[in-house]
Amino acid sequence: MILTLGFVVVALLLLTVVVSAAGVHLERKRLLALADLLALEGADAVGDNRYFVPGAGQGASGTGGVPLTDASVRASVDGYLRDNPGAAAAWDEFAVLDATTPDGRTAEVRLGAVVRPVLLSWVLAPWSDGIALEAESVARGA
């Protein structure tokens, strides 16, 4: 009887760990999907002052396209999050860590958030304050 009770306790603790790990993994995937979406949004961002400049779209190397700026990428990301407040509501301490363009054609977005384990037990007590997640995505404009 005692051995059975011990196995049940171990199985329940293992279950809490597996369920919490799966929950954290799913939250990381959701954060990565949001980073992908924001990178695409940033890659489509072009400021009006850059679009209507004579010669815009010609490109210095003949590759075409209108160059992005760090400000336009950041404004596009902030605008999307402002227009869709539910996009980041699921996470504690959500932040856009970086939204830039390294070469004028690529938008890079890095997000950070804190998630809490779904089920807490004494096994998961060290992570009761939350687990910090980061996701990074890159999108290239046309």
pLDDT digits over 4-32, tens only? 999 998 998 888 888 888 988 999 999 99
Distance CA 141, CA 119 (A): 42
One-letter identity of residue 6: G
DSSP 11-67: HHHHHHHHHHHHHHHHHHHHHHHHHHHHHHHHHT---HHHHTSTTTBT-TTS--BPP
pLDDT of residue 81: 93
**What's the chain's average pLDDT?**
83
What's the whole-model pTM score?
Answer: 0.78
User: Strand 92-100 relative to strand 131-140: parallel, antiparallel, unpaired?
Assistant: unpaired
Q: Report residue 47's pLDDT band, with 50, 70 and 90 as the boundaries.
A: low
